[in-house]
Each structure stands twice: as structure tokens, then as C-alpha cells.
């Protein structure tokens, strides 16, 4: 029987250090500030924004919220982003995704200053990660690595399989594990015989959004399993992994909810305080 990785507890531990860093920046006369932009009234996005604002308040990070109507034009949204880029009191800018279909997410993300891109989605930050330089790392994959490390598992030399290749989760997760000297395999919707790869994984990170994609027979005994997905099934949250049966095989596994989600929010806070610290350097 494996151990459940308590993402809430692991995030709370990380947040103790983040809070101290926030205080240290405040002591120098600067309060870290995160601008949060929500366009439209997608209930899930509203809930995520609410959780981020609540966590920021707990840690002493100021938030400036912009709740814009769904009809907001791309031009107006980009104008707001540029205005926030130029505002020295704002250290981090978060535009909650997804955006309404008439707005190009790419165009909006490209216009966020890389120095304030606390979600780590600007191509400049993605390039920094690719080339092993310091930049903002996307919050969810950064949190996945923290969760693996919270189990005491040595990453170096391990086989890591990442399912999913999005710019937000899968690709950066693979790069981060590679940087930690794992041997990384990336799988996606065109992968043939997915189980052949996953059964070889000492560390399995699944970021797809298909409930029960990963069943117990696809998991190597003793593997660490990080389930990033958040799927709504019959009113309940589920991940990609068939949790109950996987728990019998894995050494450690994240639950959904209560696994990757809380650590993602903690990493956003960490990136925000890092952005504020950089303005003092």
C-alpha cells in the first residue's frame, strides 16, 4: 500500500518559507504585489482566482484584481497588461486562462513583461528553462517537482515518464525532471502502447485530463505518481489515475483534489515574492 502525498500539507510547509521571504521584502519597504486578471465568468476560473487571492492575503502578498467582462477585446486586455508592466508597484501579472475564444492567449502572454511573468508562460521564460538559465518556472510543473522531492525520492538517474506535452504542464515538467538528471520520456495522444512506457517509470507525471487513463497495471511497483489532471466526473474531482487501485502499486501518489493544486498556488506565491525580490537586487 502506497503513501498519499498530502499536497496541502506540503504546500503549507513551503508557504512558511515564502511568508518569511514576503516579510523580508516588506521590511525593505516593498510589499510584493500580484495583479490577477479574470476575463468572463467561467466558474472554475473564478474559483481558482479566489483561491490564489486568498493564499496571497494569508502570506502578506497584496493582490490587485481586474474582473473584466467576457466581451473585453484583445486590444483592451493587452492595453491593461502593458499598463501593469509599467506600474512599478506590481511585481507579478497573472492572466487567468482560459481566455474567451475571441482573444488570443498567445498574444496576451507575449505582452506580459518577462520580469513579471510569474506564471512562467512567456517564451522568454520558457527559453530560459530550456537552456538551463534562471527565469520564472511555470507553477504547476514546479510544484510537481517539489511534491516528488517531498517524498524523499532521489530524482537523478530515475526513469521519469510525463504524459501530456502542453506548454503549461507537460513540456516544462519534462525539462525540470531532465534538469534534475532524470531520464525523461514524454508521451502524448499519438503515443502507441502508452502502458509500455508508463510501466518503466520510477516517476510518473500525468497531465492529460482523461479520467482513468492510468490504471494500476500501467504503474511500476514502487513508482512515485503525480496526477496533475483535474476532471469533473459526476460532480466530483478526478485525476487521470485510477487512484484507489494505483495506491496499491505506487510507493507515493498525489490525490485529486489535495495534491498538485495546492502546491501550484504555493509556487505562484513563490514566483511573486521572487519577482519582488528581483526589483530590490
Q: How far apart are CA 119 and CA 139, in angstroms?
A: 6
Q: Identify whether the C-beta of residue 130 lies closer than 8 Å to the C-beta of residue 175.
A: yes
Residue 39 binds to ligand NAP (criterion: CB under 6 A): no
DSSP-derived pairing of the beta strands 92-95 and 33-39: parallel
By CB under 6 A, name the one of 210, 211, 212, 258 that touches ligand NAP. 210
By CB under 6 A, name the one of 63, 140, 271, 272 that touches ligand NAP. 140
Instruction: Report phi then psi at 52, rounded to 5.
Output: -65, -45
DSSP-derived pairing of the beta strands 236-238 and 231-233: antiparallel
Q: Using alpha carbons only, what angle is made at residue 235 by residues 230 and 238, rounded to the nearest 5 degrees?
A: 30
Q: Is 52 a catalytic residue?
A: yes
Residue 251 binds to ligand NAP (criterion: CB under 6 A): no
Among the listed residues 52, 55, 62, 180, the single catalytic one is 52
By CB under 6 A, name the one of 111, 264, 271, 272 that touches ligand NAP. 264
Residue 209 binds to ligand NAP (criterion: CB under 6 A): yes
Residue 228 binds to ligand NAP (criterion: CB under 6 A): yes
Pick the stretch among 23-31, 32-40, 152-160, 190-198 that binds ligand NAP (CB under 6 A): 190-198
Q: Which residues contact 231 (CB under 8 A, 6 or more apart)?
A: 209, 210, 211, 237, 238, 239, 240, 256
Interaction site with ligand NAP (CB under 6 A):
140, 163-166, 168-170, 187-191, 194, 207-210, 213, 228-231, 260-261, 264
Residues classed as catalytic: 52, 96, 119
Amino acid at each position: 500500500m502506497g503513501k498519499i502525498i498530502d499536497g496541502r500539507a506540503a504546500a503549507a510547509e513551503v508557504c512558511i518559507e515564502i511568508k518569511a521571504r514576503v516579510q523580508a521584502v516588506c521590511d525593505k519597504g516593498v510589499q510584493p504585489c500580484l495583479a490577477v486578471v479574470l476575463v468572463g465568468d467561467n466558474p472554475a476560473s473564478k474559483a481558482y482566482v479566489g483561491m490564489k487571492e486568498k493564499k496571497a492575503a494569508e502570506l502578506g502578498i497584496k493582490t490587485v484584481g481586474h474582473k473584466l467582462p467576457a466581451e473585453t477585446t484583445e486590444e483592451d486586455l493587452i492595453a491593461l497588461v502593458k499598463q501593469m508592466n509599467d506600474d512599478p508597484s506590481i511585481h507579478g501579472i497573472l492572466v487567468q486562462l482560459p481566455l474567451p475564444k475571441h482573444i488570443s492567449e498567445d498574444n496576451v502572454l507575449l505582452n506580459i513583461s518577462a520580469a513579471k511573468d510569474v506564471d512562467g508562460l512567456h517564451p522568454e521564460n520558457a527559453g530560459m528553462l530550456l537552456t538551463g538559465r534562471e527565469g520564472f518556472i511555470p507553477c504547476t510543473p514546479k510544484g510537481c517537482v517539489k511534491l516528488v522531492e517531498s517524498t524523499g525520492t532521489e530524482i537523478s538517474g530515475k526513469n521519469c515518464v510525463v504524459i501530456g506535452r502542453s506548454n503549461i504542464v507537460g513540456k516544462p515538467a519534462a525539462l525540470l525532471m531532465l534538469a534534475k538528471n532524470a531520464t525523461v520520456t514524454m508521451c502524448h495522444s499519438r503515443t502507441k502502447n502508452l502502458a509500455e512506457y508508463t510501466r518503466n517509470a520510477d516517476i510518473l507525471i500525468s497531465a492529460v485530463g482523461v479520467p482513468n487513463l492510468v490504471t494500476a497495471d500501467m504503474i511500476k511497483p514502487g513508482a512515485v505518481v503525480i496526477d496533475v489532471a483535474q476532471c469533473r466526473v459526476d460532480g466530483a474531482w478526478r485525476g487521470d489515475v485510477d487512484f484507489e487501485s494505483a495506491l496499491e502499486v505506487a510507493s507515493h501518489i498525489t490525490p485529486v483534489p489535495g495534491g498538485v493544486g495546492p502546491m501550484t498556488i504555493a509556487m505562484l506565491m513563490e514566483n511573486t515574492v521572487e519577482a519582488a525580490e528581483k526589483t530590490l537586487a
